[in-house]
C-alpha cells in the first residue's frame, strides 16, 4: 500500500455527509461554506510519540485522543465542530495499525458530525497533526482575555485522573482494578466538553480555556491575558474518584499540574452561577477573580500548604518529557 492507496482506503471515506462541504478529499484544496452569522474557529495540534502519547499505545487510542484534544480547543471557544484535516507521519504502512487508528479517529468524528476534508501522509517518526474547524456566533466566542474582577472561577468535571492514568500505564503505581480502569479511560479517551462550551456562550461566560497542561498553568493563561489574579481554594478542587487511592498531596498535584484532563476552566459572574444547573455534566466553583497582584494565584484552604501556586504544567522546549 502506498500513500495514495492509503488515502483512498481510509481518509477518503465519507465519515458523515455535510451540506457545507462543497468539495472534500481528492483535490488540491477542500471547498467549504461557512454559515451566515457564524465565524470559523480553527485550531491545530501536533502530537508526537513519547511526548503526547506513549509510542506503544494502542493505535485506536491514539486515533481517538489525537482528535479529542483538538476538539477540546473548539470546546474552549464554544464552537460547534464541523470539519477536520489530518496529517500523519508513519515509520511504515502497517494496515492493521492504520485500520485501528482510523476506527478510533472516525468514532469520535462521527459523534460530533465532523467530516474529514483533507490532510497529508508522510514517512518518518510517528507523529499526528490534526486541524479542526468549527462554527461560533459572531462576537460570541469565548476567549481568555475577558475575566472580570469578582467572577467565580469554575471547572467542569473531575480532575487528575489522566495524570494518574499515565502512572498506571507505565506500571509506576498499583491501584484497584476499578481505579486503574477509570484512570486509563481518562488518559486514552477524554471527552471534549463541546456542549458545555456552547452553553457557556448562551449564559455569557466571560473567559474560558481547556485544561490540557494543568489547571494552574492553564488558569494562569486566562489571568495573564485578562490582567487579573485569582484566589483558589484547594478544598474545592474536584478530584477524580480514582485519586482516593493515593495520598492527598499527590492527588492535588495531579489535579492541578498533571494536565491531560481536557475539562474547561472558565469565569462567570457570581449572579449567573445558578444557571450552570442546566449545563450538562458536573461543575465546581474553585475560586474567584481578584485585582492583579503577586503572586498571580493565591492558594487558600485547609490544604494550601500541600499545593504550590508555582506548580506548572507541561511546557515545550524545557526538557520536560511525556514519560
CATH topology match: 3-137 vs 152-300? no
pLDDT of residue 52: 86
pLDDT of residue 312: 53
- Fold classification of 152-300 (topology level): Phosphoribosyl-aminoimidazole Synthetase; Chain A, domain 2 (3.90.650)
Ranges of each domain in the chain? 3-137, 152-300
CA-based nearest residue to 223, from 315, 156, 287: 287
Asked whether the CA dihedral 14, 17, 21, 23 is positive or negative, the reply is positive
Cell numbers for 120: 497529508
pLDDT of residue 311: 52
- Cα 142 to Cα 36, 52, 206, 222, distances in angstroms: 19, 26, 7, 11
pLDDT of residue 2: 58
pLDDT of residue 317: 43
For every one of its 323 residues, what pLDDT tens digit does the chain have, with 9 covering 90 and above? Answer: 555 566 566 666 555 579 999 988 878 899 999 999 999 999 999 999 888 888 899 999 999 999 999 999 999 999 999 999 999 999 988 889 999 999 999 999 999 999 999 888 889 999 999 999 999 999 889 999 999 999 999 999 999 999 999 999 999 999 999 999 999 999 999 999 999 999 999 999 999 999 999 999 999 999 999 999 999 999 999 999 999 999 999 999 999 999 899 999 999 999 999 999 999 999 999 999 999 999 899 999 988 887 754 455 554 444 443 32
Cell 501556586 belongs to residue: 309
Q: Does domain 3-137 have CATH number 3.30.1330.10?
A: yes
Which residues have a Cβ under 8 Å from the Cβ of 264 and sit 6 or more positions away? 75, 76, 155, 156, 193, 196, 197, 200, 208, 209, 210, 211
The Cα–Cα gap between 43 and 38 comes to 16
DSSP helix/strand/coil, 156: strand
Amino acid at each position: 500500500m502506498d500513500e495514495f492507496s492509503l488515502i483512498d482506503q481510509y481518509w477518503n471515506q465519507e465519515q458523515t455527509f455535510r451540506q457545507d462541504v462543497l468539495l472534500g478529499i481528492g483535490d488540491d484544496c477542500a471547498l467549504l461554506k461557512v454559515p451566515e452569522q457564524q465565524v470559523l474557529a480553527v485550531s491545530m495540534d501536533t502530537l508526537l510519540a513519547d511526548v503526547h502519547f506513549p509510542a506503544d499505545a494502542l493505535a485506536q487510542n491514539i486515533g481517538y485522543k489525537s482528535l479529542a484534544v483538538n476538539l477540546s480547543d473548539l470546546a474552549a471557544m464554544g464552537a460547534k465542530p464541523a470539519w477536520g484535516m489530518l496529517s500523519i507521519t508513519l515509520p511504515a504502512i502497517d494496515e492493521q495499525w492504520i485500520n485501528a487508528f482510523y476506527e478510533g479517529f472516525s468514532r469520535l468524528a462521527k459523534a460530533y458530525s465532523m467530516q474529514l476534508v483533507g490532510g497529508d501522509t508522510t514517512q518518518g517518526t510517528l507523529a499526528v497533526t490534526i486541524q479542526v474547524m468549527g462554527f461560533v456566533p459572531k462576537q460570541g466566542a469565548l476567549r481568555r482575555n475577558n475575566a472580570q474582577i469578582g467572577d467565580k472561577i469554575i471547572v467542569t468535571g473531575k480532575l487528575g485522573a489522566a495524570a494518574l492514568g499515565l502512572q498506571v500505564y507505565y506500571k509506576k503505581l498499583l491501584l484497584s482494578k476499578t481505579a486503574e480502569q477509570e484512570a486509563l479511560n481518562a488518559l486514552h479517551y477524554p471527552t471534549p466538553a463541546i456542549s458545555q462550551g456552547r452553553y457557556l456562550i448562551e449564559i455569557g461566560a466571560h473567559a474560558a480555556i481547556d485544561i490540557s497542561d494543568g489547571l494552574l498553568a492553564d488558569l494562569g493563561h486566562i489571568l495573564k491575558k485578562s490582567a487579573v489574579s485569582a484566589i483558589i481554594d484547594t478544598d474545592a478542587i474536584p478530584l477524580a474518584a480514582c485519586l482516593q487511592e493515593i495520598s492527598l498531596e499527590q492527588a492535588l498535584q495531579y489535579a492541578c499540574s498533571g494536565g491531560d484532563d481536557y475539562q474547561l476552566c472558565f469565569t462567570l459572574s457570581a449572579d449567573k452561577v445558578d444557571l450552570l444547573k442546566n449545563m450538562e455534566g458536573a461543575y465546581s466553583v474553585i475560586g474567584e477573580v481578584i485585582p492583579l497582584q503577586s503572586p498571580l494565584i493565591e492558594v487558600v484552604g485547609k490544604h494550601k500548604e500541600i499545593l504550590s501556586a508555582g506548580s506548572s504544567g507541561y511546557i515545550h522546549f524545557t526538557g520536560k518529557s511525556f514519560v
